[in-house]
């Protein structure tokens, strides 16, 4: 089955704690994962940040929301126990979701505080409906928003790149490669003469000592122009016998036969979308507009105080 959303895990968490005893986060995760019968792939699916598993993130937020509503609590760090309100929730015929939690004052206060207090606490019942429609955890929502912003930025970058002349595009590609760490200290990258280049637009060094060469072809094509296998074959022929590697960069895309052939010939392909994302990742042609720091509890700090007791 697919990994349940965080609000679909409320009942799983409470059922696990239904015996009234204290249980650790690890015990809870193991029990819920087993009950959900998740595949190995689902168990190890990570958030876009690659720093936390999706199931761990969603169970964690489910615990947070249930604690804020007063249905469970944490008697000590890393351990959890059900409260009477949680027992009552399990005994009721109501689905335990965000709409159920919003009936508790402490949960409404928490939601208002998380929004910066834009509405009065204990407003109308529509507040609960709004929360119930949110099936992502805050971490997932933030990651999704980041991906959407990045995708939009990539499109804007490509629009600017398409305004360049083909020669300017060649220089830009080589400058990007230099920014990524390729090239020698004296000559990070160089373009080849326009005549007699045999389809090679530039040469860069694989390492800063210059032991290996990378021959570059950079094609400034319209976005809907697919680079085909014949283009890759011509490039392979141009670098044959030169003792170097091949990199083919385009503003457009590659056909399936071109991709398959390039893979056989060990030619690295960079299409327009990948180029834009490389520019973003390497701070090339972009500027930072805003920075957010997402912080988490440093358990080691508090452990040191416990050891001093």
pLDDT value of position 118: 46
Residue 133: pLDDT band (50, 70, 90) is very low
192/115: higher pLDDT: 115
Residue 191: pLDDT band (50, 70, 90) is low
**Quick one: 122 and 237 in the same domain?**
no
pLDDT value of position 135: 66
Residue 126 has pLDDT above 80, yes or no: no
Tell me the mean pLDDT in the region 21-25.
95
Residue 236 in any domain: the answer is yes
Residue 123 has pLDDT above 60, yes or no: no
CA 45 to the chain's CA centroid: 12
Cβ atoms of 300 and 293 closer than 8 Å: no
Which of 136, 141, 119, 97 lies closest to 9, judged by CA? 97
Residue 288 in any domain: the answer is no
pLDDT value of position 134: 60
- How many CA atoms does the CB half-sphere of 121 hold within 13 Å? 11
Cβ atoms of 190 and 203 closer than 8 Å: yes
- φ, ψ of residue 296 to 5 degrees: the values are -135, 160
Residue 219 has pLDDT above 90, yes or no: yes
**Quick one: 38 and 69 in the same domain?**
yes
Which of 149, 155, 161, 118 lies closest to 251, judged by CA? 161
pTM for this model (two decimals) = 0.65
Please give the share of the chain, as a percent, with pLDDT higher than 90.
Answer: 55
For the chain, how many structural domains are there in total?
2
Residue 144 in any domain: the answer is no
pLDDT value of position 137: 84
Q: 226: which 2 tokens?
A: 């697919």
Could you please report the per-residue DSSP string of 52-108? SBHHHHHHHHHHHHHHHHTSEEEEETTEEEE-HHHHHHHHSSS--SHHHHTTSHHHH
**Quick one: 63 and 124 in the same domain?**
yes
Please, which residues have CB within 8 angstroms of residue 37's CB and are 6 or more apart in sequence? Answer: 1
Which of 225, 299, 229, 293 lies closest to 267, judged by CA? 229
**Quick one: 103 and 157 in the same domain?**
no
Cβ atoms of 253 and 279 closer than 8 Å: no
Q: 88: which 2 tokens?
A: 């009552």
Residue 91 in any domain: the answer is yes
The angle formed by the CA atoms of residues 156, 160 and 161, to the nearest 5 degrees, is 115
**Quick one: 164 and 90 in the same domain?**
no
Residue 106 in any domain: the answer is yes
Residue 202: pLDDT band (50, 70, 90) is confident
Residue 163 in any domain: the answer is yes
**Quick one: 103 and 70 in the same domain?**
yes
CA distance 169 to 67: 55
CATH number for 167: 3.40.1350.10
In this predicted model, what pLDDT tens digit does every residue of 31-81 receive, in sequence order? Answer: 999 999 999 999 999 887 777 899 999 999 999 999 999 999 988 878 999
CATH number for 97: 1.10.10
**Quick one: 64 and 126 in the same domain?**
yes
CA distance 86 to 299: 27
184/3: higher pLDDT: 3
pLDDT value of position 196: 42
Cβ atoms of 216 and 234 closer than 8 Å: no
In this predicted model, what pLDDT tens digit does every residue of 242-269 receive, in sequence order? Answer: 888 999 999 999 999 999 999 999 999 9
Last residue of a domain, one of 135, 164, 195: 135
**Quick one: 10 and 131 in the same domain?**
yes
Last residue of a domain, one of 107, 135, 163: 135
Length of the chain: 309
Tell me the mean pLDDT in the region 218-233.
93
pLDDT value of position 130: 37
Residue-range definition of the domain harbouring residue 39: 6-135
Please, which residues have CB within 8 angstroms of residue 234's CB and are 6 or more apart in sequence? Answer: 199
pLDDT value of position 114: 66
166-179 vs 272-281: helix crossing angle, rounded to 10: 40
**Quick one: 12 and 119 in the same domain?**
yes
């Amino acid at each position: 089955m697919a990994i349940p959303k965080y609000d679909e895990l409320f009942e799983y968490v409470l059922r696990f704690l239904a015996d009234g005893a204290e249980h650790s986060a690890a015990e809870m995760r193991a029990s819920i994962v087993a009950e959900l019968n998740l595949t190995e792939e689902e168990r190890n699916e990570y958030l876009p940040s690659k720093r936390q598993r999706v199931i761990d993130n969603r169970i964690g937020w489910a615990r947070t929301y249930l604690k804020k509503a007063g249905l469970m609590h944490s008697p000590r760090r890393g351990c959890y126990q059900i409260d009477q309100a949680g027992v009552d929730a399990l005994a009721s015929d109501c689905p335990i979701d965000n709409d159920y939690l919003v009936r508790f004052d402490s949960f409404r206060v928490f939601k208002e505080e998380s929004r910066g207090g834009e509405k009065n606490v204990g407003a109308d019942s529509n507040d609960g409906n709004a929360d119930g429609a949110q099936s992502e955890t805050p971490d997932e929502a933030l990651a999704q928003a980041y991906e959407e912003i990045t995708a939009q930025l990539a499109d804007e970058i490509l629009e600017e790149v398409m305004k360049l002349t083909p020669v300017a595009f060649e220089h830009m590609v080589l400058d990007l490669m230099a920014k990524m760490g390729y090239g020698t200290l004296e000559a990070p990258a160089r373009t080849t003469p326009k005549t007699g280049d045999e389809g090679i637009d530039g040469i860069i060094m694989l390492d800063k000592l210059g032991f290996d060469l990378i021959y570059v072809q950079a094609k400034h094509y319209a976005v809907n122009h697919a680079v085909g296998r014949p283009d890759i074959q011509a490039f392979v022929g141009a670098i044959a016998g030169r003792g170097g590697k091949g990199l083919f960069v385009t503003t457009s895309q590659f056909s399936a036969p071109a991709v398959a052939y390039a893979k056989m010939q060990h030619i690295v392909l960079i299409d327009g979308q990948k180029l834009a994302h490389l520019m973003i990742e390497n701070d090339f042609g972009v500027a930072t507009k805003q920075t957010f720091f997402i912080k988490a509890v440093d358990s080691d700090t508090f452990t040191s105080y416990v050891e001093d007791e």
